[in-house]
Amino acid sequence: MSKTLQEIRQEAEAKIAETLSADVLDEIKVSILGKKGELTQILKNMKDLAPEERPKVGQQVNEVRKAIEEKLEAKKAEIKHIMLTEKMKRETIDVTLPGKKMMRGHRHPNQIALEDLEKVFIGMGYQVVEGPEVEFDRYNFELLNIPANHPAKDEQDTFYITKDILLRTQTSSVQARIMEGGDLPIKIISPGRVFRADEVDATHSPSFHQVEGLVVGKGVTMADLKGTLDQFAREFFGPDTKTKLRPHHFPFTEPSAEVDVTCFKCGGKGCNVCKGSGWIEILGCGMVHPHVLEMCGIDPKVYSGFAFGIGLERVALLKYEIDDMRLLYENDVRFLKQF
Ligand code: DAH
C-alpha cells in the first residue's frame, strides 16, 4: 500500500532532523520531490482520483512539499553555519604570536671592499665612473699601446664577440674612453668587472673585478702617484701601512711599477698572510705613456698623468684573510655573512 501524505511528511522530517550531511539532504530531496520522487508520484496518480478530490489532494501535496522544502532549507542553513563555525575555529590566528622574521641579506665582501675603497678616493676628490664590459679592441688594447700582435694580448686572452669587440680584460679601457672624451683635468676611479680566458683556481677566475684610477692634468708627477697610493694604503689597510714601488712593465705607462704594501697583519715582520716577506703586492701603476696621451688626443708636452689598476678580489681576499678566491663566487650565505 502506498504511503499517505502524512507518512511521507513525517518520514522526511525525521530524516532531515537526524542528518548533518548536505549529501543526505540532497538524497532526501530527490527521493521525495525529484522526478521519480514520492510526492511527484502522488501527483501523477491524481488522474485516478475522482475529479472533485483532485484540487484537495493537489493542495495537500503542495502543503507537504512546501513544509519539506522549508525543513530542507532550514537544515541546509544549519549545516552551513556549523561548517563555518568549525572552519573559523580551525583557522583562528593567534595575533600575539611573534611575526616571521625577514631574512636580512648581507653585503658581499667584494662590495664591502669596493665601498671602502671608493670612500677613500672620493675623499681625495675622485669621481667614480663606469665603462662597458663589452668593449672595443680599440679601447681595451689599441689606445693603450697594445696594437695587434702585441704579446700582452696573449697574456690577456679573452672572449671575442667579433674581431673588434670583446669582453674587456682590464678596466684600463675606461682610461682611454675618458681621455678621448677630452674633459681635462681628469681625476677618476672606475670599478668594474673584467674577463679573461682563465681556468678557475684559488687565485684565478674568468671573471673578476678591478678598480682603475686615472689622473691627468698639468704638472702631475710620479710623486703625486706615490703620495696618492700611500694615502690610499693608510686609509684602506691601516695608518701604519707603508708602500713600496717595484719597477715593472705595462705597455700604457712609462715608467711603470708594481706596488707592495706592508703586511697589515704582521706589520712587515713576516707571517702567513704575506708568506714571510712582510710585503703584499696590491696593484700596478705608472705614468701615462706619452704615446697613449697622444693617441687619445691629449698633448703630452702640456699634460701628464698617472694611472693605477687595483685587483678588487685581491684586496678583499687580503683584507678579510680569505685564502681561496672561489669562495667569493659561490655565494654560500654561511660564508658571506662572516664579513
Ligand atoms: N690593467 C692592468 C692589468 O690588468 C693593471 C694596471 C697596471 C692598470 C698599470 C693601470 C696601470 O692603470 O697604470 O694588469
For residue range 194-236, list pLDDT tens digits in order.
999 988 888 889 999 999 999 999 999 999 999 999 999 999 9
Q: Return d(Cα 189, Cα 121) in angstroms, integer.
A: 8
Q: Is 305 in the pocket of ligand 1 (CB under 6 A)?
A: no
What is the pTM assigned to this prediction? 0.72
Q: Is 286 in the pocket of ligand 1 (CB under 6 A)?
A: yes
The residue behind cell 681625476 is: 187
- Report which of 189, 188, 190, 185 is spatially closest to residue 216, judged by C-alpha positions: 185
pLDDT at res. 47: 84
pLDDT band at 191 (very low <50, low <70, confident <90, very high): very high
For residue range 285-326, list pLDDT tens digits in order.
999 999 999 999 999 999 999 999 999 999 998 888 888 889
Side by side, the strands of the sheet bearing 253-262 are 127-128, 186-195, 207-217, 304-311, 279-288, 253-262, 243-250
H-only helix segments in the chain? 5-18, 22-33, 38-44, 54-90, 109-123, 137-140, 152-155, 172-181, 222-237, 290-295, 312-319, 326-330, 333-336
Q: Is 158 in the pocket of ligand 1 (CB under 6 A)?
A: no
Q: Return d(Cα 300, Cα 317) in angstroms, integer.
A: 37
Q: Return d(Cα 227, Cα 231) in angstroms, integer.
A: 6
200-206, long-range: CB < 8 A, 24+ apart: 200/326, 201/325, 201/326, 202/323, 202/324, 202/325, 202/326, 203/325, 204/325, 205/313, 205/325, 205/326, 205/329
Q: Is 156 in the pocket of ligand 1 (CB under 6 A)?
A: no
Q: How many CB atoms lie within 10 A of CB 269?
A: 11
Question: 130 C-alpha vs ligand 1 centroid, how far in Å?
Answer: 16
Among protein residues, the one with the nearest Cα to ligand 1's atom 5 is 309
pLDDT at res. 326: 92
| 144 DSSP 8-state letter | G
Q: Does the structure show a pLDDT above 80 at 3?
A: no
For residue range 104-148, list pLDDT tens digits in order.
788 899 999 999 999 999 999 999 999 999 999 999 999 999 999
Contact indicator for 29, 65 with CB cutoff of 8 Å: no
Mean pLDDT of 80-89: 92
The amino acid occupying position 201 is D
Cell numbers standing for residue 242: 707603508
Q: Return d(Cα 32, Cα 38) in angstroms, integer.
A: 5
Q: Does the structure show a pLDDT above 80 at 1?
A: no
Q: How many CB atoms lie within 10 A of CB 175?
A: 29
Question: 309 C-alpha vs ligand 1 centroid, how far in Å?
Answer: 4
**Pairing verdict, β 165-167 and 207-217:** unpaired
Share of the chain above pLDDT 90, in %: 60
pLDDT at res. 57: 84
Quote the crossing angle between the two packed helices 312-319 and 109-123, to the nearest 10°: 110
Question: 328 C-alpha vs ligand 1 centroid, how far in Å?
Answer: 22
For residue range 23-51, list pLDDT tens digits in order.
988 998 899 888 888 888 888 888 888 88
Cell numbers standing for residue 46: 491524481
Q: Return d(Cα 174, Cα 193) in angstroms, integer.
A: 12
- Report which of 61, 71, 83, 82 is spatially closest to residue 25, judged by C-alpha positions: 71
Q: Is 262 in the pocket of ligand 1 (CB under 6 A)?
A: no
Cell numbers standing for residue 64: 507537504
Average pLDDT score, the chain: 92
pLDDT band at 2 (very low <50, low <70, confident <90, very high): low
